[in-house]
Amino acid sequence: MVYDALVLVSFGGPERPEDVLPFLQNVTRGRGVPPERLAEVAEHYMHFGGVSPINQQCRDLLAAIREDFAANGVDLPVYWGNRNWDPMLADTVARMRDDGITRALAFVTSAYGGYSSCRQYQEDIASARAAVGPDAPLIEKLRQFWDHPGFIEPHADAVRAALAQLDPAKRDSTRLVFTAHSVPMSAAATAGPHGGRYTAQMEEAARLVHAAAAPDLAYDLVWQSRSGPPQVPWLEPDVNDHLATLPEQGVTSVVVSPIGFVSDHLEVVWDLDTEALETAKQLGLDFVRAGTPGVDPRFVAMVRELVAERTAPDGERLRRRLGELPAWDTCPAVCCVPPARRP
């Protein structure tokens, strides 16, 4: 298959104080989130001048991908469009059409399967193409990359670097805590063709990073950044609630690794670097937050490798470990569609 562009697709974020509330309204439209919760989250952004880090992180990743493509002979222009804020994906797709692009690949800044982390991006792409019209380029999403070495290895190195900041005399009482974005339990149950894909992939990614970085330490996978109505059950425990249970277990130090994320955007720098850090201080826990892949060269090279994997001739497609077919063989069709909606 021949493709003539790559588009980076991300969540988006405000870059001015006056954009914060309209952005949050875009994010939560139709989800029944109370206005007081929006106001609370808006204050988180105001602590950073009303600017989300995510757009600059996308610009940095965009530049790194272009540089990596050029250095490795990949002749594909790279575009960027967001789900919730400028540059909006529909505007980017219109520009791609005007530039003569006919068939593109999409790299989404979310590693996992699940509705909001995968299938909704498929819907965003379809909506953007519909808004542009019949001349819109075809756009196919690259596969999930939750267990790709280009994602796992930077996370593992970040955990090692975080552990190096703690008192080595307390190593035996140090706990590794992986975090990811919580989702409604109903969404977790229906993620993937057989359900449970989001949590299963997260558990395996945590296991891989733990095995590579600190196999001697105990670890947990917990959740953060719940945003839905209070009556809807979401994945638990929350990271702050979990931290509160650790001192009674003899834990003195924690490294928190945001395994669910690819960059240090607001839900990392607020929910972990601000709220979880304050919780740890109140509990008397030594606390270090591990980094995310960002523009680590291995993560950037992974994007090129995913493109090469997708564009290889059918008989020579790269197989994932254990001989399994790449996840993208099923991803576009049924990966994250709830059972009642599957064809």
**Structural tokens at position 106:** 């999409």
- pLDDT surpassing 60 at residue 343: no
Q: Give the model's pLDDT for residue 285.
A: 98
Q: What is the pLDDT of residues 127-136, one digit of tens each?
A: 999 999 999 9
Contacts of 277 (CB under 8 A, 6+ apart): 287, 289
Is residue 181 marked as binding?
A: yes
Decide if 219 contacts 176 (C-beta within 8 A). Answer: yes
Identical fold for domains 5-145+296-318 and 149-289, yes or no, is: yes
Q: Give the model's pLDDT for residue 231.
A: 86
- pLDDT surpassing 80 at residue 219: yes
Decide if 127 contacts 275 (C-beta within 8 A). Answer: no
Averaged confidence pLDDT in the chain: 91
Is residue 36 marked as binding?
A: no
What confidence tier does 174 reach under pLDDT thresholds 50, 70, 90? Answer: very high
Is residue 121 marked as binding?
A: yes
Q: What is the pLDDT of residues 94-105, one digit of tens each?
A: 999 999 999 999
CATH 3.40.50.1400 holds for 5-145+296-318: yes
User: Domain spans of the chain?
Assistant: 5-145+296-318, 149-289
- pLDDT surpassing 90 at residue 229: no
Q: Give the model's pLDDT for residue 319.
A: 40
125 or 227, which is more confident: 125
Q: Give the model's pLDDT for residue 332.
A: 42
> First-to-last CA distance in the chain?
25
Decide if 332 contacts 149 (C-beta within 8 A). Answer: no
Q: Give the model's pLDDT for residue 314.
A: 58
- pLDDT surpassing 80 at residue 335: no
**Structural tokens at position 271:** 């929910």
Please tell me the distance from the alpha carbon of residue 110 to that of residue 327, in angstroms, as a whole number: 14
Torsion region of 114: left, alpha or beta (phi above 0 gives left; psi -120 to 50 gives alpha): left
Give the predicted TM-score (pTM) of the model.
Answer: 0.91
**Structural tokens at position 236:** 């638990």
Q: What is the pLDDT of residues 23-75, one digit of tens each?
A: 999 998 887 778 888 898 999 999 999 999 999 999 999 999 999 999 999 99
CATH topology of domain 149-289: Rossmann fold (3.40.50)
Q: Which helix (H) or strand (E) holds 171?
A: none
Residue 281: how many other CB atoms lie within 10 Å: 11
What confidence tier does 228 reach under pLDDT thresholds 50, 70, 90? Answer: confident
- pLDDT surpassing 50 at residue 267: yes
Mean pLDDT, to the nearest integer, of 287-308? 97
